[in-house]
Amino acid sequence: MHETLGVAVIGTGRMGADHVRRIHEMISGARVAAVVDIDAERAKRIADGIEGCTAYTDPATAMAAPTVDAVLIASPGPAHEAALLTAFDRDLPVLCEKPLTPDAASALRVLEAEQRLGHRRVQVGFMRRYDAEYLRLKSLLDDGGLGRPLMLHNRHRNASTPPGFTNAMLINDSVVHEMDVTRWLLDQEITAVTVLRPTPSGNAPEGLDDPQFVIFETDGGALVDVEINVNCRFGYQVQAEVVCERGTARIGEAHSLLTNAEGRWGGTIAPDFVERFEEAYDREVQSWVNATRRGEVEGPSAWDGYAAAAVCEAGVRAQSEGRRVAVEMIERPALYR
């Protein structure tokens, strides 16, 4: 491993390009050694702006480069499995954007491959675990002062969806964050999912039932609800309230500046997740780089990626079949305990 970690960023779409900028401008101890995109022109354009960075169209070729010590996967979900398995072949540390893979069967194959390797190599990009407000909530709950969590209410609102956003994506791309947050905050597994739908909003694009109301049951007996509302128009908003035996705690309401002027008080709402979670992404990537340079692996594991995929599968079935669906998951393997 080089003194400065040489990172190959695979996929230079919205998240990938943002991570390239982040590593280049913000992160210490790492540099962008390679960028990979099937669009050769795009990869070259990005690489040309960074000294010592090479453009590739094939992830395996980039991972074989002597300048590459670690991999950040930000390509579309269906391409993750192949990239992860190639990284394992080279025993390279990986930060893999969510989803780990698009379904539980492929996530399980990744989990098995990492176990064959004998040590953890993957951190999954569930960035909310690095958000300052979520971290505060997590330590409050771990502290135990409020007693046992009984319920968790979540609101997840996006201003609008990109063209082609489907009901299944509502679960797999959006609610997947609340699945991970629930498992992490409560330290419990999700055992069943129910999806209810009000009459769709007039803002909902053709073919998308928006908003929807998702309910999780957990193995610790907690109930969790998620308002997923992805064409709310007014901005990007993520809120959570935990109701415990001796009190409640709420985040996501006033993380921005509050002003008083012209007879009104108020703040601003971020337009999208890249802005709302900017600091969380910075913290996530910096933690990954720091742990990697120490020879360690921290943060959300491939097990967390698999568990989210299993809950997503139950969620998509609950949504399409209009009934409560139990989550099917393997036992947690020793490597992830």
Instruction: State the residues that interact with ligand ISE by CB under 6 A.
Output: 158, 173-174, 177, 230, 273
Q: In the 3-class helix/strand/coil scheme, how is 145-163 assigned residue by residue?
A: CCCCEEEEEEEEECCCCCC
Pairwise CA distance, residues 78 & 128, whole Å? 22
* Contact between residue 90 and residue 295 where contact means Cβ atoms under 8 Å apart: no
**Min dist. Cβ of residue 174 to ligand ISE (A):** 3
- The set of residues, in sequence order, having a beta carbon less than 8 Å from that of 129 and lying 6+ positions away, is 135, 138, 180, 181, 184, 284, 299, 300
State the residue number with the nearest CB to ligand ISE.
174
The H or E element spanning position 194 is strand 190-196
Of 26, 97, 16, 6, nearest to 283 by C-alpha is 26
**Min dist. Cβ of residue 18 to ligand ISE (A):** 12
**Min dist. Cβ of residue 97 to ligand ISE (A):** 9
**Min dist. Cβ of residue 230 to ligand ISE (A):** 6
Nearer to ligand ISE, 4 or 239 (CB): 239
Nearer to ligand ISE, 15 or 55 (CB): 15
Nearer to ligand ISE, 128 or 293 (CB): 128
- The set of residues, in sequence order, having a beta carbon less than 8 Å from that of 336 and lying 6+ positions away, is 120, 301, 302, 303
Edge to edge, the sheet with strand 149-157 lists 247-251, 237-244, 149-157, 223-229, 212-218, 190-196, 325-326
**Min dist. Cβ of residue 67 to ligand ISE (A):** 30
Where do we find the tokens 């997503």? 312
20 by DSSP, 3-state: which?
A: helix
Nearer to ligand ISE, 187 or 272 (CB): 272
**Min dist. Cβ of residue 236 to ligand ISE (A):** 7
Nearer to ligand ISE, 273 or 303 (CB): 273
Nearer to ligand ISE, 206 or 331 (CB): 206
Taking only Cα atoms into account, the Rg of the chain, rounded to an integer number of angstroms, comes to 20
Of 135, 125, 11, 2, nearest to 67 by C-alpha is 2
**Min dist. Cβ of residue 177 to ligand ISE (A):** 6
Single-letter amino acid code for the residue at 175: V
Nearer to ligand ISE, 69 or 131 (CB): 131
Pairwise CA distance, residues 92 & 85, whole Å? 10
φ, ψ at 24 (rounded to 5°): -65, -40
Nearer to ligand ISE, 158 or 218 (CB): 158
